[in-house]
């Protein structure tokens, strides 16, 4: 039996999220005033506090000019440090291993400067065949930068014929002695598959490789333990599950083992120790923390929304969110099953908050869902629709709307 609308509303009354903390856009079609928002894996909704807290930071500039660096209510010089603790807790890292800076692909490049150090006998990089294109372009350009041939050096992992996800054992089998770097998505952007990060990291190390993770779709979605899992490095963006706004400042992780080690890095004045930064010496004295990977002084008005958002995660806790996420996603799965083919793993331990379905004409269906039903789900070429019920603000009623709307628009 398909769940009823009343049933969905009852579940919402019993299993509340934190929707009241967010601005939910008005619907442009359908029977309800607000959208049923399933695109939080692409751009999370705006926390209500973001506007007022950003204005506070902006007004420090008006009131203090350059003195805001030290005298603002949230001083700009050490502003990024306000984000370090909450970001570290979110990804299971030590504060010294974590820094919020730049944007995701830039961070991947800066980290590969240190961690992709190819030799003739070991220069290959392993990625997913369905890696987000930015990651593919990044690793191919790194390979080329070091004078190797990307066609030969980049190994792209494909699921078995007829399957949509990668099996952990198949991934492990590919990690041979010629692999310099394994760089996979923690949660795949297209299929929503959650990788077995600790097992793959361990296998990569056993093969003598460096193992880095792109956590764009994992940060704020699933609990992570980067330090304990012995991950070498990781990077993530803050505008998807982290609700920090378009192009928001990203995060980076470098394992304690590598801090203070003699690794190549691209440096600027924010790479040097803050205590001696203004001595204006020609040589940097980088701290033995992830801060050493910073280059420029950070954009305060872009960091402000990240601070506001991380505070929400700190208060609610990722473990609590994950539990609600598992329930919500299972409920949506029940509603979509039978309507369209779900290509996301059925095992809750192998997925986060996203369900991807394979449908013909996904782009057109996504438009109809938006304008006829007020349901926001995005399409990815050529035939995938993605639905992310986000545990902070999505409701069972949103899921019910998505399930009934998709059933009606399916060809």
Ligand X SMILES: *Cc1c(COP(=O)(O)O)cnc(C)c1O
Binding site for ligand X (CB under 6 A): 103-105, 132, 134-135, 185, 189, 214, 216-217, 237
Of residues 237 and 365, the one with the C-beta less far from ligand X: 237
Q: How far apart are CA 292 and CA 259, in angstroms?
A: 9
Q: How far apart are CA 260 and CA 207, in angstroms?
A: 24
- Minimal CA–CA distance to 304: which of 57, 60, 49? 57
Q: How far apart are CA 335 and CA 401, in angstroms?
A: 10
* Torsions phi, psi for 270 (to 5 deg): -90, 0
Contacts of 78 (CB under 8 A, 6+ apart): 274
Min dist CB 130 to ligand X, Å, is: 10
Q: How far apart are CA 129 and CA 108, in angstroms?
A: 18
Contacts of 10 (CB under 8 A, 6+ apart): none
Q: Is 217 annotated as a binding residue?
A: yes
H or E element that contains 252: strand 251-254
Min dist CB 27 to ligand X, Å, is: 25
Min dist CB 139 to ligand X, Å, is: 11
Min dist CB 103 to ligand X, Å, is: 4
Of residues 37 and 373, the one with the C-beta less far from ligand X: 37
What are the C-alpha distances in Å from 276 to residues 279, 280, 397?
5, 8, 55
Of residues 287 and 298, the one with the C-beta less far from ligand X: 298
Q: Is 133 annotated as a binding residue?
A: yes
Q: Compute the residue count for the chain.
A: 411
Of residues 344 and 395, the one with the C-beta less far from ligand X: 344
Min dist CB 102 to ligand X, Å, is: 9
Min dist CB 7 to ligand X, Å, is: 34
Q: Is 269 annotated as a binding residue?
A: yes
Min dist CB 404 to ligand X, Å, is: 29
Read out DSSP for 326-370?
HHHHHHHHHHHTTTSEE-S-SSGGGB-S-EEEE-TTHHHHHHHHH
Q: How far apart are CA 129 and CA 135, in angstroms?
A: 11
Q: Is 104 annotated as a binding residue?
A: yes
Contact 205, 178 (CB under 8 A): no
Of residues 124 and 217, the one with the C-beta less far from ligand X: 217
Contacts of 18 (CB under 8 A, 6+ apart): 312, 316, 392, 393
Q: How far apart are CA 140 and CA 116, in angstroms?
A: 12
Q: Is 135 annotated as a binding residue?
A: yes
Of residues 92 and 185, the one with the C-beta less far from ligand X: 185
Of residues 164 and 217, the one with the C-beta less far from ligand X: 217
Of residues 135 and 291, the one with the C-beta less far from ligand X: 135
Min dist CB 275 to ligand X, Å, is: 31
Read out DSSP for 202-238?
HHHHHTT-EEEEE-TTTTTTS---TTTTT-SEEEE-S
Q: Is 132 annotated as a binding residue?
A: yes
What the block records as the tokens of 361 is 């004409």
Task: Give me the residue label for tokens 């010089």.
Answer: 77
What are the C-alpha distances in Å from 182 to residues 135, 147, 254?
12, 19, 15
Show binding-site residues. Answer: 104-105, 132-135, 214, 217, 239, 269, 297
Show binding-site residues for pyridoxal 5'-phosphate. Answer: 104-105, 132-135, 214, 217, 239, 269, 297
């Amino acid at each position: 039996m398909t769940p009823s609308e009343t049933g969905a509303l009852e579940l919402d009354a019993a299993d509340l999220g934190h929707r009241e903390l967010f601005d939910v856009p008005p619907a442009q079609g359908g029977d309800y005033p607000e959208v049923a928002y399933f695109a939080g894996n692409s751009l999370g909704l705006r926390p209500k506090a973001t506007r007022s807290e950003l204005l506070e930071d902006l007004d420090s500039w008006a009131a203090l000019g350059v003195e805001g660096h030290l005298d603002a209510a949230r001083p700009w010089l050490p502003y990024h440090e306000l984000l370090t603790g909450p970001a570290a807790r979110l990804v299971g890292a030590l504060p010294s291993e974590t820094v919020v800076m730049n944007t995701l692909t830039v961070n991947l490049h800066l980290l590969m400067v240190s961690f992709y150090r190819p030799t003739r006998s070991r220069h290959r990089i392993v990625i997913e065949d369905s890696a987000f294109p930015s990651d593919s372009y990044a690793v191919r350009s790194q390979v080329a930068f070091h004078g190797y041939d990307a066609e030969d050096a980049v190994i792209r992992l494909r699921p078995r014929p007829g399957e949509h996800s990668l099996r952990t054992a198949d991934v492990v089998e590919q990690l041979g002695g010629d692999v310099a770097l394994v760089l996979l998505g923690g949660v795949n952007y297209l299929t929503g598959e959650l990788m077995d990060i600790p097992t793959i990291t361990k296998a990569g190390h056993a093969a003598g490789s460096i193992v880095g993770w792109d956590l764009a779709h994992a940060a704020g979605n699933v609990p992570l333990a980067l330090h304990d899992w012995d991950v070498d490095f990781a990077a993530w963006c803050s505008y998807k599950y982290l609700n920090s706004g378009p192009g928001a400042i990203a995060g980076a992780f470098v394992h304690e083992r590598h801090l203070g080690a003699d690794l190549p890095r691209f440096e600027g004045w924010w790479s040097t120790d803050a205590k001696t930064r203004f001595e204006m010496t020609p040589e940097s004295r980088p701290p033995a923390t992830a801060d050493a990977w910073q280059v420029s002084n950070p954009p305060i008005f872009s960091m402000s929304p990240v601070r506001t958002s991380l505070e929400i995660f700190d208060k609610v806790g990722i473990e609590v969110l994950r539990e609600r996420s598992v329930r919500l996603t299972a409920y949506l799965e029940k509603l979509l099953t039978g309507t369209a083919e779900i290509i996301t793993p059925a095992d809750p331990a192998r997925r986060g908050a996203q369900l991807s379905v394979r449908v013909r004409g996904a782009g057109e269906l996504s438009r109809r869902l938006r304008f006829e039903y007020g349901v926001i789900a995005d399409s990815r070429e050529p035939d995938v629709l993605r639905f992310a019920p986000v545990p902070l603000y999505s409701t069972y009623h949103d899921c019910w709307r998505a399930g009934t709307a998709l059933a009606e628009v399916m060809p």
